[in-house]
Amino acid sequence: MRTLFMGWGLFLLAVCSNAVQAQQVTVYPTNWWAGMKYNKVQLLLKGEEGLNKSQVRISYPGITLGKVHTIENNKYLLVDITVQPTAKPGNVAIQLTAAGSKTQTLQWPLLARAKGNGTVYAKGVTSEDFIYFLMPDRFSNGDTTNDRVPGMRDQSLNRSDLGARHGGDLQGIINHLDYLQNMGVTALWLTPVLENDMPERTEHGYAFTDHYAIERRVGGAAMYKKLGDELHKRGMKLIQDAVYNHTGSFHFFMQDPPAKDWLHQWPTFTQTNFKEQPVFDPYASAKDRKITSDGWFVPSMPDLDQTNPYVANFLIQHALWSVEAFGVDGWRIDTYIYNDLPFMNRCNKALTDEYPNMTMFGETWVNGTANQAYFAENNINVPFKSNLQGVVDFQCLFTGIKSALTETNNGDGVYKLYNTLSNDFLYKNPMRNVIFLDNHDMSRFFSEVKENVAKQKAGIGWLLTERGIPQMYYGTEILMKGYSNPDLLVRADFPGGWEGDAVNAFTGKGLTADETAIQQYTKLIANFRKSSSAIKTGKLMQYMPNKGTYVYFRYDSRQTVMCVLNTADTAVQVNCADYAERTSGFTKAHNVESGIILPVTKALEIPAMSLQILELQ
């Protein structure tokens, strides 16, 4: 792993030296790498009044100076350079000469590339993985010295206030990687870790204020790199939460924008309509389409104009920089449907061109499978074709497993699950969709099923056996509960992450019998999944539900797994002969949870409100 991030010390030095010169000139990106395929880099120089009148010279072997762009704000310059294949790592001297002034020289690092592209890092996240999603501020506090950082606007630290910071950090996550790995987790997705110097509500990270700084209150750049290293040593993966649509209002894009057209401007504050239909509706008005894409989320999150080529270059270069600097393996893309979609295609392609194994999945909180499929690689005949590999599959949750386990009176709910999956013909590859039960923006699944432990267990069993990439939100495995409104309990602390916690889910101390049982069940099924070729990469066959009972198979040439979901309040008998297309030739069924082996020739009794996972032998 020492060779993975060669030159990291030089990189940190560059960041620090840029910070020292921040009152003069700061360069974005803060560095680049020799040997990158993306070698035409656009530098954004940010300085003081009159910077745009400076003459730029670069004298470095293998670096070619291209066009220098002046823009509306005279404190900025955009400088095009080409890093030739012959360029060697070192400090590139950028000379700035203003009229009648002395020449100022900036040292811009060109680093050696990391080794192991696609094998050690940038590996991509696939259906073979099990993603664990957490908020660093709410998982574990491993370093109390960074709980508050002098000079930052938000000095809150109050665990009793769900809108304040609680002190969780990257060291806390590293301290508990054994817990995650033992549970069968293979990939870790964090809410954004970029610096978030906003005056309040900084715990979630989505209103960040500096693309090229890692939040110091979670440990900073060195600790983020360490987390990536520690994950890779274990064969695990790091997913970065990418926010292209907006920044926080204290970002310089808002405080001192390079030009007005870097943001979507309105005469008065205009909020997005939160509707996706105008993006693809053949009958949509231009007005509705503009409000969808260009409207702001909230006043504190200025909306970026990605049709501006300078903005697009800045964002794409930051994405590439993040992968190379920290060893990111995959991207979760926030608010995908509100971004400029041609820009997103360009950004996605830049990532996969540089990192062929890189994968991306986008947040698509929409209505219906056709609406959702539009934003991914699909089989739909539409004018715009997305290259996004997969989506966060809200449909499999809303009209899928949630309906199946809450609408149980006449079996309509489980039919909705069946119907949702029948629409997979819309996707180019539905196995790349990320399925889930809950997240940081919605009520916890345990609350949605009215704290019914059997339903929670069935939901987790489904999550770990269905097609796609399973993602579990922190605490789902120990029955954490809460509604998204009005109390934000969905973002409560993970018990045991802070010294003195009465309950410690990492060790099991203080957990109830039900909490322990679900935690152990999650561990059992997730680790079975890890060794199951049929579930990880196999095919799916589903049968039409029968009075609330739903049978589906995951299978390949090596293994067949039969899953039976009974949503009724009484046990049912299932005759394997009714599913001969998949059960023929097998004589035994191994119950993965109980370990009991049952004869396939006899009817199987499926307990009330349960999902039985049976490996056929």
pLDDT tens, 1-21?
Answer: 323 333 333 344 344 334 333
Q: Which of 334, 407, 466, 515 is catalytic?
A: 334
- Residues 44-64: pLDDT tens digits? 999 999 999 999 999 999 999
Domains and CATH numbers, the chain: 8-111 (2.60.40.10), 131-535 (3.20.20.80), 539-616 (2.60.40.1180)
Please state whether beta strands 330-333 and 237-242 pair in parallel, antiparallel, or not at all (unpaired). Answer: parallel
Average pLDDT estimate for 511-517: 98
Structure tokens at 257: 């924008």
Distance CA 281, CA 536 (A): 35
The pLDDT, as a whole number, for residue 12 is 40
Of 20-34, 209-223, 340-354, 546-560, which range is least confident?
20-34
- Say what the pTM is: 0.95
Q: Give me the sign of the Cα torsion angle 349, 351, 357, 359.
A: negative
What mean pLDDT do residues 421-445 have?
98
Per annotation, catalytic residue among 276, 363, 424, 438: 363
Q: Residue 240's beta-bridge partner residues?
A: 331
- For residue 203, indicate whether it is catalytic: no
The average confidence (pLDDT) of the chain is 95
Dump the DSSP string for 103-127: EEEEEEEEEPPPS-BTTTBS----T
Q: Which of 448, 423, 614 is nearest to 528 (CA)?
A: 614
Give the pLDDT confidence score for residue 98 in this predicted structure. 86
Q: Is a pLDDT exceeding 50 seen at residue 456?
A: yes
Does the annotation count 334 as an active-site position? yes
The arithmetic mean of pLDDT across residues 69-95, rounded, is 97
User: Alpha carbon 306 to chain centroid distance?
Assistant: 20
Question: CA–CA separation, 334 vs 364, rounded Å?
Answer: 9
* pLDDT for res 485: 83
Per-residue pLDDT of 552-594, as tens digits, reads 999 999 999 999 999 999 999 999 999 999 999 999 999 999 9
Q: How far apart are the first and last CA of the chain?
A: 41
Note the pLDDT of residue 550: 98
The yes-or-no verdict on residue 477 having pLDDT over 50 is yes
Task: Return the exposure string of 562-596: e unless at least 16 CB atoms fall within 10 Å of the residue's CB, then b.
Answer: bbbbbbbeeebebebeebeebbeebeebeebbeee
Torsion of CA 199, 201, 207, 209, to 10 degrees: 30
